[in-house]
Amino acid sequence: MPSLWSRIRRLGSTEQEEEEEGSSCRVVPTFERDHDNKVPPLGNNEVQDFPLPLTSYPVLMLPVTHTTCRLFNPVTGKFTRFSYPDGGKISYSSSIPAFSNGHGWVSYFTNTDCSMILANNVLSDSNPSATAITLPPFHTIPNLHSLPIEAADPDLKAAAPPGTDCFFYYTNVRDGEEVIKFLPRRLMVEMILGCFALSSSSPTEDNCVAFLSPGRYLRHTLGIDFAFCRIGDARWSTAPLCLDHYNKVDQCFIEKVVYSRREKLFYVLSRHMCIQVVEFNDDDPASLPKRLCSPHCVPVDPCRVAYELYRDEVLPVYHSMYLVETPQRDPLLVLHYFVPIEYDDEDDDDEEEEGKYRSVGFHVYKLCFDRQKVVAEEFFLDDTALLVDVASFVCVSVRDFPGLMPNSVYFFGRHEIGFYNLLDRAFTHFYQPFEMLMEEISGQPMWVSRPQL
């Protein structure tokens, strides 16, 4: 009978690897290339009564309930269900990942003053629930105030719609008007929290910076480009990103923020491919951050690329963007192209159905920076694999993780999961479509990988 630890470690191994233990050869995983492959329903035989696998192998964590999640293994293409080691004290199902390189930090919010809590169920061996850090409340952001309904005066409580558990109010910087919004807590958080990143995989490190870009709605009304704090600060501070001739509207749509530990810099990417480099002074924590160069547009036109490469697609081609930190080079820009799927209205009603999408390609660019321009070069990953989704990424060498495919981008989409080989321009889908799984997910999925010690 295998030991508990060996069962946990096996999550990152294929059956061939177990039989050929000690071999240095890379094992090619075996799975079906079946577009109709469906995710099996949750069952009791899938539940494991032990903690999250503390393995360095990357897995995709999909919150299901307050106490359980499903883990997807990109090597075997299979799902396993696990219980959280703290019994659900860290509520991943109502949390938002802190965008980082797969170390498992998520943010959720207190019921008293809407403070942001950073928590991690992946990094700690002995007591995962102890790995929790409190950031300043949202109401310390200038012009913004947020409170739970319980703290409101009687008139506001009476005005709150049913099901509302939180409200916030702010001062519109354009006309000075005070605006009150009643919202469920999660929707409030999504409006406030646009992009979020940490400068360290361990927020307990000295001078760790939390970088917050407010949601699009609040960026217009608060006049804030981004807010930041160091762990232990009592308040959020704010600073402008752009004060020059670039279109201010463009800056209001920040898509991604990523921190490079190698360069000790934050990279901020807007929707219209404008990128800025921001540095914090560790020697003077009280100083404001500075921009190392004026914002420059990345010389890549996603729409033009889509037209040239996917002109045979009948339906319009959309794209999303990712910034990925790599240990040996400048950040990578990943473009993900997808098209809508035509489908019948199954319930035959007048309600708008949620759109379904099919991926058609990925492109990866290496970004090089100087004070005058940003250079983007199409890039192939060689013996590297990227694992990306909306709020997290993992970049690993396949030499260190046998079973992962080289020169490939592993991705999680709303209606598909698989990987794309950049050299062959070929997809391999693990599951497509998998609506059954999406109905069970109650939080933002994210890639996690425990750092190798």
* Cα 130 from Cα 120, distance rounded (Å): 9
Other C-beta atoms closer than 10 Å to the C-beta of 23 total: 11
Q: What is the pLDDT of residue 9?
A: 38
Q: Give the pLDDT confidence score for residue 422 in this predicted structure.
A: 92
Q: Are 196 and 211 in contact (CB under 8 A)?
A: yes
Quote the distance between the C-alpha of residue 118 and its chain's center.
14
What is the DSSP-derived secondary structure letter of residue 99?
B
C-alpha dist (Å) from residue 379 to 276, 309, 366, 422: 21, 16, 6, 9
Model pLDDT, residue 420 = 94
> Is the Cβ–Cβ distance between 287 and 227 less than 8 Å?
no
Return the pLDDT at 182: 58
Burial of 251 (0-12, 13-18, 19+ CB in 10 A): buried
Beta bridge partners of 119: 106, 132
On the 0-12 / 13-18 / 19+ scale of CB atoms within 10 A, 316 is: exposed
Q: What contacts 209, CB < 8 A, 6 or more positions away? A: 198, 199, 228, 229, 230, 259, 266, 280
Instruction: Tell me what pLDDT residue 60 has.
Output: 85
The pair of structure tokens assigned to 209 is 């910076």
Rounding to the nearest 10 degrees, give the CA dihedral for residues 84, 88, 94, 97. -40
Distance of CA 279 to the CA centre of its chain: 22
pLDDT by residue, tens only, the chain of 453 residues:
332 223 333 443 433 333 333 333 333 333 333 334 444 444 433 434 334 444 567 888 887 776 777 888 888 888 887 776 655 555 555 555 555 555 667 766 665 556 677 777 665 544 444 467 788 877 777 766 655 555 556 666 666 666 555 555 565 555 556 666 655 555 666 666 677 788 877 777 778 888 887 766 666 666 667 788 888 888 888 876 653 434 444 445 677 888 888 788 888 887 777 777 888 877 665 666 766 555 566 777 777 777 777 777 667 888 888 888 877 677 888 989 888 876 555 555 544 455 678 888 899 988 877 656 677 778 888 888 999 887 778 888 888 888 899 999 999 876 788 999 999 999 998 876 555 555 666 667 788 876 543
Tokens of 413: 């989409």
Q: Give the domain ranges of the chain.
A: 4-194+299-342+354-448
Burial class of 257 by CB neighbour count within 10 A (0 to 12, 13 to 18, 19+): buried
366 CB burial (10 A radius; 0-12, 13-18, 19+): middle
Paired residues of 363 in beta bridges: 335
**How far apart are the C-alpha atoms of 194 and 213, rounded to whole Å?**
5
Helix (H, G, I), strand (E, B) or coil at 386: strand
Alpha helix locations (H) across 166-262? 185-192, 216-222, 248-251
- The Cα–Cα gap between 307 and 316 comes to 9
The predicted structure's pLDDT at residue 279: 83
Beta bridge partners of 108: 117
At 196, is the secondary structure helix, strand, or coil? strand
pTM of the full structure: 0.74
pLDDT at residue 263, as a whole number? 80
Return the pLDDT at 421. 94
Q: Beta 408-412 vs 392-397: how paired, if at all?
A: unpaired
Cβ–Cβ under 8 Å, residues 70 and 364: no
Residue written as tokens 């990953």? 381
Angle at CA of residue 114, ends 108 and 120, nearest 5°? 20
- Closest alpha carbon to 76 in 421, 446, 401, 452: 401
Length of the chain: 453
pLDDT at position 37 is 44
State the pLDDT at residue 405.
Answer: 92
